[in-house]
Amino acid sequence: MENLEAQFGLNQPLWVQYIIYLKNTVTGNFGISYQTRTPVGDMVFPALMNTLILLLPATAISIAVGIGIGMIAAWRRGTKEEVAMSGTTLVLYCMPTFWLGLLLLVMGVLYLGLPVGGMFTISFGPENAFARFSDLLQHMALPLATLVLGLVGQYVLVMKGSLLDVLTEDYMVTARAKGIRRRKLMWDHGFRNAVLPMVTLMALNIGLSFGGAIQTETIFSWPGIGLLTYRAILSRDYPALQGAFLVIAVAVILANLIADLLYPFLDPRVVA
Amino acid sequence: MAESKNSRIFTHLESLRKFWKAYKRSRTGLIGAGILAAFIAMALLAPYLAPYSPSRIFLTEELQPPSWKHLFGTNESGQDLFSQVIYGSQASLIVGFAASLIASSIGTVLGITAGYFSRIVRNLILRVTDFFIVIPSLVLMIVLASVLGPTLSSVILAIGLVGWTGTARVVMAQTLSVKELPFIEASKSAGAGNSYVLRNHILPNVMPVVFAQTVLVIANAILYEAVLTFLGLGNPSQITWGQILEFAFNSGAITTAWWYVLPPGLSIMLVVLGFSLTGYSLDEIFNPRVRKI
């Protein structure tokens, strides 16, 4: 026991432990996992890559779908279709992501014969790149669907609200009075201005999507940073939990920084 | 004296009546309030509504599909799921109310401080708020809850200590606009100090916004409770909807026992929907900047 404590540095006073932790972290040493006894750094970065393989397509799809549905909903405000779309969006928004994942897991496995979890079934050699890729896609389908359905609601609501705001602007009335076609009006005047708040939302949502990833990866045993977090919680593996937290935090902050730097290019009114 | 008290009660009643008149016009708000009333009644009357004790084990009746004896079937240890779902409403509502009370208090204090005092104070508070907005809430809650240990109160604390940013921002915006109103200046020039102005002018004008925001925070808190308990951060002997789903997932019963998975999840969804609809409607009435979405 004493040996163990010494090995993990737990026999030192708290503040000494903290300083050692800071020093190690800055120099790229994230400590040793209690559970697997491997360096946390070696676990965390491959896991982050696996998460991004899932998260980036999910984000892209949900933004595209969210913008599309949001635009239709704003344009057809008050019609039956709009009520149906907004209702579905709200219901999706109120569902816990992990429960949505459970439902999709059950349906996918029972009716579509999709794999239960993980990323790959069997390891194909490099000559079998195509088989490997299609295997990955099959494993990805359900977690991807879960994440997209979990994320899309916010985008729809914000896009719809933002477009409704834009539609009532004076320049829209002017454009309409000039006799510009509806379609052109929608895209050139409406879409371009309404899509700006989406960039801010995207940046803010990166954190949220990591929350969704933790739940989704837990359900589908996707070997990413979320599953690593879940296993670390279950085995009270604090070094691994710290490592996961740090990596997620840094990834989110970097993404926000990029969004902030991109914003002036999209909206010339904002000065960097 | 007695007369002024009576007239004050009368004005309160009058404003309540006006509020109800405005609220009544929102159909979604009424639906939300109806859902909430049903679930609050369910939590309060749980001992009378539940046919069995939620922990009672029916031997040889493990994983039974729904029947007249067990309306929602039984789980893998032979407990009645209908009773568990009914009792689960208590924990969800307690966590929702308690966590949002913590979050709203923090958010209101920080928001008013940031809005009322100097620019330096505001920027300081805004930077702290930015930190909490950027760092993924769920991840922060997981770290807090796992350090605090697997109890219901640590789940409440974790959600409350993280979930105040929205309230802080809204309250700050409201304070900034209220403090420029002429009656505040009049009050100050009549000799009112900061604490008088804050208590008698700012706070009453901010409270409606806080109220609407709190209802929305409850919706989020209930969602987060379910997620945290599902991830194994709750107290396993405390029955909550998230806990039922955790047992369903980890016992491997999900692919066979749909009755195990559907009711708790639908309950979470409905309660969150109820609080969200109510919150949006309140926001529309109290927050002049909100437009209909």
What's the whole-number average pLDDT of chain B?
Answer: 85
Contacts of A149 in chain B (CB under 8 A): none
Question: Looking at residue B272, what is its pLDDT?
Answer: 93
Put simply, the answer to whether B245 touches A98 (Cβ < 8 Å) is: yes
Structural domains in chain A plus CATH codes = 40-270 (1.10.3720.10)
Contact between residue B152 and residue B94 where contact means Cβ atoms under 8 Å apart: yes
pLDDT at B5: 63
Say if residue B290's pLDDT is above 50.
no
Residue B196 has which token pair? 């008088």
- Residue A197, pLDDT > 70, answer yes
Nearest CA in chain A to B266: A95
pLDDT of B235 higher than 90: no
Q: How far apart are CA A187 and CA B109, in angstroms?
A: 43
Q: Is A236's CB within 8 Å of B146's CB?
A: yes
Section B114-118 average pLDDT: 88
Q: Are residues B275 and B225 in contact, defined by beta-carbon separation less than 8 angstroms?
A: no
Residue A168: band (very low, low, confident or very high) from pLDDT cuts 50, 70, 90 = confident
* Confidence class for position A126, pLDDT limits 50, 70, 90: low
Q: Model confidence over A48-82: pLDDT tens digits?
A: 889 998 999 998 999 899 988 888 888 887 788 88
Confidence of residue B50 (pLDDT cuts 50, 70, 90): confident
Is pLDDT of A162 > 90?
Answer: no
Residue of A nearest to B276 (CA): A94
Residues of B in contact with A109 (CB under 8 A): 255
Q: Is the minimum CB–CB distance between A93 and chain B shorter than 8 Å?
A: yes
Give the list of residues 6+ apart from residue B206 with CB closer than 8 angstroms, or none: B108, B111, B112, B171, B174, B175, B178
**Closest residue of chain B to A255, computed from CA coordinates:** B134
- The string of pLDDT tens digits covering residues B144-171 is 998 888 888 999 999 999 999 989 988 9
How distant, in Å, are the alpha carbons of A225, B102, B242 from that of A30? 15, 33, 32
* Contacts (Cβ under 8 Å, ≥6 apart) of B36: B271, B274, B275, B278
Q: Residue B199 has which token pair?
A: 């208590």
Q: Which 8-state DSSP code applies to residue A128? A: G
Chain-chain contact of A233 with B232 (C-beta, under 8 angstroms): yes
Which residue out of B85, B133, B138, B146 would a mutagenesis test of the A interface target, given it has the greatest number of A Cβ atoms within 10 Å?
B138
pLDDT of residue A176: 79
pLDDT for res B6: 67
pLDDT at residue A36 is higher than 50: yes
3-state secondary structure of A32: strand
CA-CA-CA-CA torsion sign (B208, B210, B216, B219):
negative
Q: Determine the Cα–Cα distance for residues B162 and B102; give it in Å rounded to an integer.
A: 10
Q: Measured between beta carbons, which residues in chain B are less than 8 angstroms from residue A157?
A: 293
Q: Does A255 touch chain B (CB under 8 A)?
A: no
Instruction: Give the number of beta-carbon pairs within 8 Å between A and B.
Output: 114
Most B CBs within 10 Å, among A51, A99, A112, to test the B interface? A99
Helix (H, G, I), strand (E, B) or coil at A51: helix
pLDDT of B3 higher than 60: no
Q: Are the beta carbons of A233 and B136 separated by less than 8 Å? A: no
**Mean pLDDT, residues B179-202 taken together:** 84
**CA distance to partner chain B, nearest, from residue A244 (Å):** 9
Q: Which is more confident, A114 or B211?
A: B211
- Chain A nearest-CA distance from B153, in A, is 18
pLDDT at A122: 65
* pTM, two decimal places: 0.86
| Better-scored residue on pLDDT, B228 or A271 | B228
Other CB atoms within 10 Å distance of the CB of residue B130: 12
Instruction: Please report which confidence band the pLDDT of residue B1 belongs to, taking 50, 70 and 90 as the band edges.
Output: very low
pLDDT tens by residue, A243-254: 888 888 888 888
Given pLDDT bands bounded at 50, 70 and 90, which one contains residue B222?
A: very high
The pLDDT, as a whole number, for residue B229 is: 92
Q: Give the per-residue SS3 of chain B.
A: CHHHHHHHHHHHHHHHHHHHHHHHCCHHHHHHHHHHHHHHHHHHCHHHHCCCCCCCECCCCCCCCCCCCCCCCECCCCEEHHHHHHHHHHHHHHHHHHHHHHHHHHHHHHHHHHHHCCHHHHHHHHHHHHHHHHCCHHHHHHHHHHHHCCCHHHHHHHHHHHCCHHHHHHHHHHHHHHCCCHHHHHHHHCCCCHHHHHHHHHHHHHHHHHHHHHHHHHHHHHHHHHHHHHCCCCCCCCCCHHHHHHHHHHCCCCCCCHHHHHHHHHHHHHHHHHHHHHHHHHHHHHCCCCCCC
